[in-house]
Amino acid sequence: MSGKRLIFGAAAAGMTAVALLLGGVLHDSSSASPVADVSPLAPQSTAELVARAQADVRANPYYVTALDKLGLAYQQRARETGDPTYYTTSGKALRRALRLAPHDLIATSGLGSLALSRHRFREALALGRRAHAISPTTSLNYGVIGDALVELGRYREGFRAFDAMASAKPDVSSYSRIGHARYLIGDVPGAIDALELAADAADGQGEAEAWTRVQLSKLYFSVGRVSDAAAQASAALHAFPDYALAYDSLAWAHFARGDVAAAIASERAAVNRIPLPQYVAMLGDLYRVSGRPAQARRQYALIGVIERLLVTNGVKTDLETALFDVDHGIRLRASLALARAAHRERPSIDGDDVLAWALERNGRCGEARQFSQRSLRLGTRDALKLFHRGMIERCLGNRAASHTWFRRALHLNSHFSVLWAPVAGRYA
């Protein structure tokens, strides 16, 4: 992308500070988010990096640089394998480095990224700010700060941090965050442009390129561009073979095309490589709609085991657990309490939406409407949130309004959910 400039020119209603994010100028892109960050590590396999750093630490237990590399490599292994025990070992290595060197930038920033992965966003914000104080010119610190602020529902501040990051260093990490921010404010074409830049910047970087192409796939799918979504998922598999995230995206594309058998095969491939709860839930839902309830129940039961493993390794799963339970009619009163607790910790539009949905499923539809309105305040084009609003209006007896919301959801993406898209179709 040498010689090109990216000018952010969109605006969001009621979000005047977004102009800071979308009004900056990015110069020559280089070779990164809710977003994936490329660690400052040598271009070797992660397993090799872990082995080398472990050997260096054994040779010299006080070697801070080796501890930093080990901690970051463990986080990358967690990304690649889905094994949350790597979060625990990463934290141990980075905290040990910080005890030896209290102002170590890499350990401080790495702990911030670890807190993000564990959905501990207030902790991540504090660590990101501490890293920024150590090195105000390091762009990655703005990413940690911005990610945490966005997940805490502090969008104006978060978008300012993304703007500062992109201005300081236009690369995969900053382009990805710009893409995410644009998606949040409803600018899907602009989000695609930013993620295309991220994919170009990550070209040839294996997992980083694959991750970026999966984000593009998800973005295309969110607005019903199924062929483009499938193409990006296939490109991700070419960049990084057997990539679980790409198999998951392919499963959604197969489902949208009506090929449930192929969707099950792709989702099973994802689960076999990285058994993340959302993949297992998707596989269970596919079994359910294909008339295989026993296999669906086995997948649903597995989710509880995985969530306990995540919690044991420091990951907060309240929001995701509440959404799964509400979707599947499990312990609805307890799920509402969990959704409220999750919302206190994560008052973002996603927290608003899950709480709204939990309230609706418990018949508290007046209160649900208030949180649904908040979940849509940025103008995000998210069919599931639109569907939830339709169900809330239907619960309140506002049939005409509910039909409008259902039609909006289906017009945006007629295959937004294995379980709920058919419901929207019946009620539209």
pLDDT in tens, the chain (428 residues): 333 332 233 333 223 223 233 332 222 222 234 444 544 443 458 888 899 999 999 999 999 999 999 999 999 899 888 889 999 999 999 999 999 999 999 999 999 999 999 999 999 999 999 999 999 999 999 999 999 999 999 999 999 999 999 999 999 999 999 999 999 999 999 999 999 999 999 998 888 999 999 999 999 999 999 999 999 999 999 999 999 999 999 999 999 999 999 999 999 999 999 989 999 999 999 999 999 999 999 999 999 999 999 999 999 999 999 999 999 999 999 999 999 999 999 999 999 999 999 999 999 999 999 999 999 999 999 999 999 999 999 999 999 999 999 999 999 999 999 999 999 999 99
Structural domain contains residue 271: no
Q: 3-class secondary structure for 122-143?
A: HHHHHHHHHHHHHCCCCHHHHH
- pLDDT, residue 44, reads 53
Q: b vs e for 334-356, b when ≥16 Cβ sit within 10 Å of the residue's Cβ?
A: ebbebbbebbebbbbbbbbbbbb
Q: Which two tokens stand for residue 332?
A: 């609805």
The neighbouring-strand residues paired with 7 are: 25
Structural domain contains residue 161: yes
Domain carrying residue 413: 318-428
Alpha-carbon span 121 to 185, nearest angstrom: 21
Structural domain contains residue 384: yes
Radius of gyration from C-alpha coordinates of the chain:
21
- The number of folded domains in the chain is 2
In the DSSP assignment, the letter for residue 83 is -
Pick the closest to residue 287 from 257, 221, 279, 233 (CA basis). 279
Do 326 and 195 share a structural domain? Answer: no
CB 221 within 8 A of CB 252: yes
Alpha-carbon span 121 to 146, nearest angstrom: 10
CB 212 within 8 A of CB 220: no
- pLDDT, residue 39, reads 42
Do 191 and 322 share a structural domain? Answer: no
Structural domain contains residue 284: no
Cβ atoms < 10 Å from Cβ of 240: 21
CB 146 within 8 A of CB 132: no
Cα 203 to chain centroid distance, Å, stands at: 21
Do 192 and 333 share a structural domain? Answer: no
Q: Which of 150, 175, 202 is the last residue of a domain?
A: 202
Structural domain contains residue 80: yes
List, in order, residues 6 or more apart from 205 with CB less than 8 Å away: 31, 32, 38, 172
Helices (H), 63-118: 64-81, 85-100, 105-117
Q: Which of 153, 180, 202 is the last residue of a domain?
A: 202
List, in order, residues 6 or more apart from 61 with CB less than 8 Å away: none
Alpha-carbon span 385 to 350, nearest angstrom: 9
Burial status of residue 137 (CB atoms within 10 A of its CB: 0-12, 13-18, 19 or more): exposed
Structural domain contains residue 134: yes
CA dist list (Å): 349 to 219, 362, 379: 17, 20, 10
CB 216 within 8 A of CB 250: no
CATH code (residue 30):
1.25.40.10
Show the CA angle centred on residue 116, arms to residues 57 and 328, nearest 5°.
125
Q: Which of 176, 202, 228 is the last residue of a domain?
A: 202
In the DSSP assignment, the letter for residue 15 is B
Do 333 and 198 share a structural domain? Answer: no
CA dist list (Å): 423 to 81, 184, 344, 369: 35, 25, 30, 19
Structural domain contains residue 166: yes
- pLDDT, residue 5, reads 31
- Tell the residue number behind the tokens 């039961």, with chain if given: 301
Structural domain contains residue 286: no
Alpha-carbon span 45 to 376, nearest angstrom: 41
